[in-house]
Structure 1
Amino acid sequence: MPEQDPPPLGEARSDVVARTLTTLAGAVPCVGPLIQVALSETIPNVRLERIEAYLIHLQSRLDEQTLNDSLRTADGLDVFEEGMWQSARAYSDERKQYIAELVSKGMDSNGTERQESRHGLRILNQLDDAQIIILSSYQLKYRLIGEESTVAFYKKHRDVLGPFSREIGPNNKDRGKAELKDAFERHLSSFGLLDVKSEDYNTGRVSYELTAQGRRFLEYLGIAER
């Protein structure tokens, strides 16, 4: 779907939504009317093609009855709405899938699991894709040196994971990336997703390990250890 241009000044929000909802409802027909309500009341003038991709991912994870039943509860609609907002700002398809995975788990459960899903959405909203890659790299399957899957993963994400040279000097372009990765790991640790394993007080280098909460978060994103 092409990106929507900003509406002309003075155009009613309802007109904007009405003009674009036909395509969305066609993409996910089983929840078309409920999507129309959510869009017209909460998310005007967004990048609807991103929401469409999210809705398709969500529909593939939930049956029609579960989706409709959950949307008719206050907390279920809250989880769905948060997913809509986040998907409107999501650039990568992977991130839309993470959002859909979290939302589907929340909508297909209740009580503690639904609260955990909502908490996961709040955390995801404060992490970028690079930080998700770094967190994923702490899974055991990517810590096995020489394994084909490990080599492929680090090769694919070389710009995020390194290895980076930490030499001080104007010609070392890697040092900034190394420091950024350090900052990302501290950020992940602040959410309890990584824990400090050891620290070298001479160099300031910190070694981390994945926490139980970190493993659970990755599980909710659909990218946990298999």
Structure 2
Amino acid sequence: MREESLSIRAKDEEIEIKTSRSDIAATLIKGIVGAAPVVGPMVAEVVSTVIPNQKLDRLIIFVKVLEDKIKYIEEDVLKEKIKSEEFTDLLEDGLNQAARALSEERKQYLASLLKNSLTKDELSHIEEKKLLSILSELNDIEIIVLKYESLYPEEQDDFWEAHKEIFERPDVYVGAPQENIDRDALYNSYRENLIRLGLLKGK
């Protein structure tokens, strides 16, 4: 069986291990349960059957984000809801996306959608799955643009500065370098996709 090198951050320690694929799955489950005692066991059960060999560090970080968002829910209510077929279905979709999530903003959006499915009854299961599906159609830059547009004006400056490599628009003029033209076209395509999905209003 092929061995892989795995790096997991647990309790502020960087652990390098060389292990088999079966051991990777076991390590993931242990890390998830340790990072999130309430929701962790439920997540670990899903992960072990759905995505046992995905990016482990991303999943553990995501589950901790989710745990932080749901820790204020009454435990009896939480335990009942997370065992429902509807939440398990959403969780599988969310974990598949979380395994590919690179940005903090995407992890936060995913965790918020799952948390809202536990705490709010306004949306049906089908509608909640649709929101997750829409999120999967967005790349990380589109997530960041959407986050920026959702902030209050006084919050936007700091967020813009933190992501200025995305928001700084290149000069486009007759004879401009092709790189500038391409970057501007890409940024416009991000906004157009958000507008197409109904997440931003066209100007």
Q: TM-score range by the shorter chain?
A: 0.7 to 0.9
Structure (1 or 2) with the larger CA radius of gyration:
1
List aligned pairs for 1:47-62, cutoff 5 A.
Answer: 47-62=55-70
Query: Measured at CA, do residues 67 and 58 of structure 1 come closer, stay the same or move farther in structure 2, by a change above 3 Å?
Result: farther
Q: CA deviation at 1:150?
A: 4.3
TM-score, scaled relative to structure 2 = 0.77
Query: Measured at CA, do residues 159 and 110 of structure 1 come closer, stay the same or move farther in structure 2, by a change above 3 Å?
Result: same
Q: Given that residues 32 and 40 in structure 2 are in contact (C-alpha distance below 8 angstroms), is that contact kept between their aligned partners in structure 1?
A: yes
Equivalenced residue count is 188
Q: CA deviation at 1:56?
A: 1.2
Give the 3-state SS of the residue equivalent to 1:112 in structure 2.
coil
Q: Which runs of 5+ in 1 are unaligned?
A: 143-147, 197-207, 209-226
Q: CA deviation at 1:77?
A: 0.9
Aligned to 2:167: 161
1:21-47 residue CA offsets vs partner (Å, 9 max, x unmatched): 222212222244323321221111111
Q: Given that residues 6 and 45 in structure 1 are in contact (C-alpha distance below 8 angstroms), is that contact kept between their aligned partners in structure 2?
A: no
Q: CA deviation at 1:115?
A: 4.1
Q: CA deviation at 1:127?
A: 0.7
Aligned CA RMSD, in angstroms, stands at 2.8
Aligned to 1:175: 181
In structure 2, what is the Cα distance between the partners aligned to 1:136 and 1:16? 34
List aligned pairs for 1:91-102, cutoff 5 A.
Answer: 91-102=102-113
List aligned pairs for 1:4-43, cutoff 5 A.
Answer: 8=20, 13=22, 15-43=23-51
Of 94, 105, 121, which aligns to 2:132? Answer: 121
In structure 2, what is the Cα distance between the partners aligned to 1:16 and 1:26? 15
How many percent of aligned residue pairs carry the same amino acid? 27
Aligned to 2:7: 2
Q: Which runs of 5+ in 2 are unaligned?
A: 1-5, 9-15
1:164-223 residue CA offsets vs partner (Å, 9 max, x unmatched): 311133636322211111111221121112233xxxxxxxxxxx2xxxxxxxxxxxxxxx
